[in-house]
Amino acid sequence: GAVVSQHPSWVICKSGTSVKIECRSLDFQATTMFWYRQFPKQSLMLMATSNEGSKATYEQGVEKDKFLINHASLTLSTLTVTSAHPEDSSFYICSARESSLETQYFGPGTRLLVL
């Protein structure tokens, strides 16, 4: 099956610093990638949708200047949490979709802890 990786799996940073999370589709070309956020014991909430080569579309309430998304190639999307604060601590999960298929394949997630 299709494999999506994320790096890093864990990151701890100081408040005010920026953190970059990578999402890669390993064996298929992902024209669309999605970024989700999951708080403890809660469901996944879609943050943004990114299409290769174009600007990301953010969901209502998600600050695009704080969560910078880049989808520069068909296999890589990055999420940068700028000037991170403790309330940004969460589990961030990406997913990727091939152009012709409906199914999204999820990465293993990145746990961010901001001190």
CB of 6 closer than 8 Å to CB of 110: yes
Examine residue 92 and tell whether it contacts another protein (CB under 8 A). Answer: no
- Binding residue for another protein (CB under 8 A) from 53, 108, 113, 115? 108
CB of 20 closer than 8 Å to CB of 68: no
Examine residue 89 and tell whether it contacts another protein (CB under 8 A). Answer: no
* Closer to another protein by Cβ: residue 16 or 108: 108
Examine residue 102 and tell whether it contacts another protein (CB under 8 A). Answer: yes
Task: Count CB atoms within 10 A of the CB of residue 41.
Answer: 5
Only one of the segments 13-21, 44-52, 63-71, 77-85 lies at the binding site for another protein (rule: CB under 8 A); that segment is 44-52
Structure tokens given for 21: 């999370």
